């Protein structure tokens, strides 16, 4: 086991489970003619059943007892019959939903995988195989709650991956379009098994070349492979592309020559990729060009691109992760800038523009409150942007299950009548995929890809149900394994929060690598790049005051939230220092002072990391050697990392607060200077 098969391992089942599966699949019947998508579904059933049962059943044209039947109303007249209850049920499942059902068809007892489209059949086949692999065989009916479920690859054309910790990019642009790696098909299978239906192939920090003819041909080759799996290809577009390719004299979105250039470019792309999804754009952020360079708004820029793709039914996903480049407007609190720029534009975007908003207002921290734009732009469809790759949570070394992070954001009540999930039209996840054999860099990071896909399909799914399912599919359905693995997953992210940024602290990672601790950094050219800007610790206290007497970022939330969080006593402890600057002797609910509580959280982070390690070593007898060892090595490293974070942060905060360590708290192993001198040369992920 090297992890390549992900959650589609299809290992032999125990006898009792085999019998249950066998009873549902004595033969396989596809109603009607085959299509590339039904071919994919049947190939997956063959693969799955050969693996779990030892051999795949025969494919037959006629329905018999015990058949596994794949059918749509268009393929099977019985399903088109308006009097049939199945037809009524199918009508509620839309273009991508499916149902799994024991029923009688043409006088025979069958297991029906039914959908309105072939893609629905493919999703249903994956769902049935999941049931088989776990040995459940439950009836089901399911339809996605969000229409757009995308991965965003931050992959560069030279195969480096910005914030990637799983090796090179899987997209081999040099070899494409003629040489097509088998991985592309396996990638499509894995994503389709989760219901992911779109992928942005290249980095948001995009290059003009991606929109030139040779790269369009390469993207088209990928699109051809992904299409049968229901996955559309999208590209990140650099706003100044026509100017940089010397094909226009400006990139001003209101200039007719620019508009014409993009219209023609869209026509050219759609000629090669008829179902091209559209563009993702990072503009006027971190030095990227954008409409503001021409004193135009984000809406002007987005709408110009939207007009180019609209005749082809394409969309534009315009990112709200903006903060001004050097020298331009510097908000007094970086957390406020996206809202300040985008909220006034609500209602001015074209119908095929979505604004893509990161889960929090700073940047993919181990914990952030939900972004105040959710609930604040009722006239604009919003996409959630989560980061699956763990830029700020210990790369692919540290174990941190993000299902709980995603769930926490999605379930947040915006107090505008909706949870965050209910404000969404789509969800994007910054992929953690690379060409490492196990795809994600570590086996446990596969769970983050899995959880993202499941939550994009159903944002109301729970992180723990997803964890249980992933554990069973990844390590087998033995509860002696799935129970402890699920417990490890469920405690892991809070553990990282505790040893990195407890109590609402944030952005204390070292410059540019974002891996190790550096709360002392204060010398970067922009104040809001420095950790000291975010924790504001001094002799008197710690934390960022975002109340009315501070930056007043709180005002961007609904009044109920603003009121609740205005008072530290009614602010959730986990966000305390995000919103408040408090004295070191502030009394915490635990009875400790804030200083003592902070130390206790760091200690808990370390203790829980050791616990994670111990739980894994107890599983040794049940896990295959290679995967056991690869995870174990990472947990050893994570323990060192947790200790490093704890010690460095305690040494630093003590140097600032001047307070003694309470009895029982162990002093850091080294003086502060030691931690300050640590370097991370050649850290991965810089793109
Ligand atoms: C930050 C990353 C940077 C990305 C940026 C973005 O450090 O590499 O380019 O986000 O989302 O988290 O555009």
Whether 627 lines ligand 1, by a CB cut-off of 6 Å, is no
Question: How does residue 325 score in pLDDT terms, banded at 50, 70 and 90?
Answer: low
Q: Tens digit of pLDDT for each residue in 240-299?
A: 999 999 999 999 999 999 999 999 999 999 999 999 999 999 999 999 999 999 999 999
Whether 162 lines ligand 1, by a CB cut-off of 6 Å, is yes
Average pLDDT, the chain: 97
pLDDT at position 558, please? 98
Q: What is the mean pLDDT of residues 31-58?
A: 97
CA 205 to ligand 1 center in whole angstroms: 8
- Does the N-terminal peptide bond of residue 231 adopt cis geometry, omega within 30 degrees of 0? no
Q: What are phi and psi of 267, to 5 degrees?
A: -55, -45
Whether 507 lines ligand 1, by a CB cut-off of 6 Å, is no
Q: Atom 9 in ligand 1: which residue has the minimum CA distance?
A: 205
CA 337 to ligand 1 center in whole angstroms: 16
Q: What is the mean pLDDT of residues 373-392?
A: 98
Out of 153, 156, 160, 162, mutate this one to test ligand 1's pocket (max ligand atoms within 8 Å of CB): namely 162
CA 490 to ligand 1 center in whole angstroms: 26
Out of 200, 239, 361, 363, mutate this one to test ligand 1's pocket (max ligand atoms within 8 Å of CB): namely 363
Whether 282 lines ligand 1, by a CB cut-off of 6 Å, is yes
Whether 321 lines ligand 1, by a CB cut-off of 6 Å, is yes
Distance of CA 528 to the CA centre of its chain: 25
Q: Atom 1 in ligand 1: which residue has the minimum CA distance?
A: 363
Task: State the complex-level ipTM.
Answer: 0.99
| Alpha-carbon gap, residue 124 to 96, rounded angstroms | 9
| Alpha-carbon gap, residue 389 to 196, rounded angstroms | 16
Q: Where are the domains of the chain?
A: 15-142, 148-461, 500-544+581-676
- By annotation, the residues acting in catalysis are 286, 363, 391
pLDDT at position 326, please? 54
Q: What is the mean pLDDT of residues 497-504?
A: 98
Whether 392 lines ligand 1, by a CB cut-off of 6 Å, is no
Q: Atom 12 in ligand 1: which residue has the minimum CA distance?
A: 363
| Closest ligand 1 atom number to CA of residue 385 | 11
Q: What is the CA radius of gyration of the chain?
A: 26
| Closest ligand 1 atom number to CA of residue 387 | 12
User: In terms of CATH architecture, what is 500-544+581-676?
Assistant: Alpha-Beta Complex (3.90)
| Alpha-carbon gap, residue 7 to 459, rounded angstroms | 20
User: How many of the other CB atoms lie within 10 Å of CB of 518?
Assistant: 24
| Closest ligand 1 atom number to CA of residue 363 | 12
CA 93 to ligand 1 center in whole angstroms: 37
CA 409 to ligand 1 center in whole angstroms: 19
The four Cα atoms 604, 610, 615, 617 give a dihedral, to 10 degrees, of: 180
| Closest ligand 1 atom number to CA of residue 204 | 13
pLDDT at position 528, please? 87
**Contact, 412 vs 370, CB < 8 A?**
yes
Q: What is the mean pLDDT of residues 621-635?
A: 98
**Contact, 553 vs 578, CB < 8 A?**
no
> Over pLDDT 70: what percentage of the chain?
99
CA 348 to ligand 1 center in whole angstroms: 26
CATH code of 15-142, in short, is 3.30.379.10
Tokens of 438: 């196990």
Using the CB atoms, write b or e for 270-303: b if 16+ within 10 Å.
bebbeebbbbbbbbbbeebbbbbbbebbbbbbbb
CA 358 to ligand 1 center in whole angstroms: 10
> Over pLDDT 90: what percentage of the chain?
97
Domain 148-461 fold is TIM Barrel (3.20.20)
Whether 363 lines ligand 1, by a CB cut-off of 6 Å, is yes
Q: Is the dihedral of CA 386, 389, 391, 397 positive or negative?
A: positive
pLDDT at position 329, please? 45
Out of 156, 204, 206, mutate this one to test ligand 1's pocket (max ligand atoms within 8 Å of CB): namely 204
Q: Tens digit of pLDDT for each residue in 209-248?
A: 999 999 999 999 999 999 999 999 999 999 999 999 999 9
Alpha helices in 74-212 (DSSP H): 77-80, 85-91, 118-134, 182-194
| 186/528: higher pLDDT | 186
pLDDT greater than 70 at residue 161: yes
**Spatial CA neighbour of 363 closest among 181, 104, 163:** 163
pLDDT greater than 50 at residue 328: no
Q: What is the mean pLDDT of residues 345-369?
A: 98
Tokens of 618: 């107890």
Secondary structure of residue 645 in the 3-state scheme: helix
**Spatial CA neighbour of 427 closest among 643, 650, 144, 639:** 144
Distance of CA 125 to the CA centre of its chain: 24
Q: Atom 10 in ligand 1: which residue has the minimum CA distance?
A: 363
């Amino acid at each position: 086991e090297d992890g390549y098969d992900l959650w589609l391992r299809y290992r032999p089942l125990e006898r009792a489970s085999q019998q249950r599966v066998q009873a549902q699949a004595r033969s396989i019947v596809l109603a009607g003619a085959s299509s590339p998508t039904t071919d994919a579904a049947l190939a997956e059933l063959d693969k799955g059943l050969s693996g779990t049962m030892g051999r795949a059943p025969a494919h037959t044209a006629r329905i018999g007892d015990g058949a596994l039947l794949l059918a749509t109303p268009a393929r099977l007249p019985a399903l088109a019959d308006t009097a049939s209850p199945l037809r009524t049920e199918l009508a509620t499942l839309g273009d991508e939903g499916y149902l799994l059902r024991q029923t009688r068809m043409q006088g025979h007892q069958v297991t029906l995988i039914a959908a309105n489209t072939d893609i629905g059949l493919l999703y249903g086949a994956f769902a049935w195989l999941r049931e088989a692999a776990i040995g459940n065989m439950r009836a089901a009916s399911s339809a996605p709650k969000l229409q757009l479920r995308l991965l965003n690859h931050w992959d560069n054309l030279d195969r480096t991956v910005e914030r990637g910790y799983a090796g090179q990019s899987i997209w081999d642009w040099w070899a494409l379009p003629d040489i097509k790696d088998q991985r592309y098909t396996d990638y499509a299978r894995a994503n389709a098994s989760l219901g992911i239906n779109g992928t942005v192939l290249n980095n948001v920090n995009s290059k003009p070349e991606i929109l030139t003819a040779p790269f369009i041909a390469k993207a088209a080759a990928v699109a051809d492979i992904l299409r049968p799996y229901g996955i559309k290809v999208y590209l990140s577009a650099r706003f100044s592309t026509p100017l940089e390719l010397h094909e226009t004299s400006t990139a001003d979105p209101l200039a007719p020559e620019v508009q014409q250039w993009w219209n023609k470019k869209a026509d050219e792309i759609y000629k090669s990729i008829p179902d091209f999804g559209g563009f993702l754009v990072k503009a006027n952020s971190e030095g990227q060009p954008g409409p503001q360079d021409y004193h135009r708004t984000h809406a002007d820029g987005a709408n110009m691109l939207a007009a180019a793709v609209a005749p082809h039914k394409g969309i534009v996903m315009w990112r709200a992760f903006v903060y001004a480049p050097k020298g331009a407007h510097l908000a007094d609190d970086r957390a406020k800038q996206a809202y300040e720029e985008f909220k006034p534009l609500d209602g001015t975007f074209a119908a095929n523009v979505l604004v893509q908003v990161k889960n929090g207002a700073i940047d993919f921290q181990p914990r952030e409150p939900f972004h105040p734009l959710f609930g604040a732009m009722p006239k604009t469809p919003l996409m959630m942007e989560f980061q699956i790759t763990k830029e700020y949570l210990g790369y692919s070394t540290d174990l941190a299950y993000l299902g709980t992070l995603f769930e926490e954001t999605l379930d947040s009540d915006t107090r505008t009548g909706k949870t965050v999930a209910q404000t969404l039209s789509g969800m994007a996840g910054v992929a953690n995929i690379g060409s490492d054999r196990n795809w994600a860099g570590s086996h446990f990071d596969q769970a983050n890809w899995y959880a993202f896909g499941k939550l994009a399909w159903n944002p109301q799914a729970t992180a723990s149900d997803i964890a249980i399912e992933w554990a069973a599919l990844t390590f087998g359905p033995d509860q002696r394994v799935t129970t402890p693995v699920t417990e490890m997953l469920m405690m892991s992210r809070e553990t990282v929060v505790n040893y990195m940024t407890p109590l609402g602290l944030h952005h204390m990672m070292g410059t540019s690598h974002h891996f190790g601790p550096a709360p002392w950094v204060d010398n970067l050219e922009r104040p809001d790049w420095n950790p000291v800007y975010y924790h504001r610790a001094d002799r008197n206290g710690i934390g960022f005051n975002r109340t009315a007497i501070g930056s007043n970022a709180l005002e961007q939330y609904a009044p109920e939230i603003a009121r609740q969080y205005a008072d530290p006593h009614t602010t959730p402890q986990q966000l305390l220092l995000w919103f408040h600057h408090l004295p070191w002797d502030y009394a915490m609910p635990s009875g400790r002072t804030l200083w003592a509580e902070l130390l206790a959280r760091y200690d808990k982070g370390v203790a829980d990391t050791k616990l994670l390690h111990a739980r894994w070593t107890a599983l040794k007898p049940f896990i295959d050697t290679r995967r056991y060892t690869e995870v174990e090595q990472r947990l050893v490293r994570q323990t060192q990392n947790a200790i490093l974070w704890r010690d460095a942060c305690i040494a630093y905060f003590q140097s600032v607060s001047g307070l003694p360590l309470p009895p029982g708290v162990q002093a850091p192993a080294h003086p502060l200077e030691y931690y300050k001198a640590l370097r991370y040369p050649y850290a991965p992920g810089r793109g």
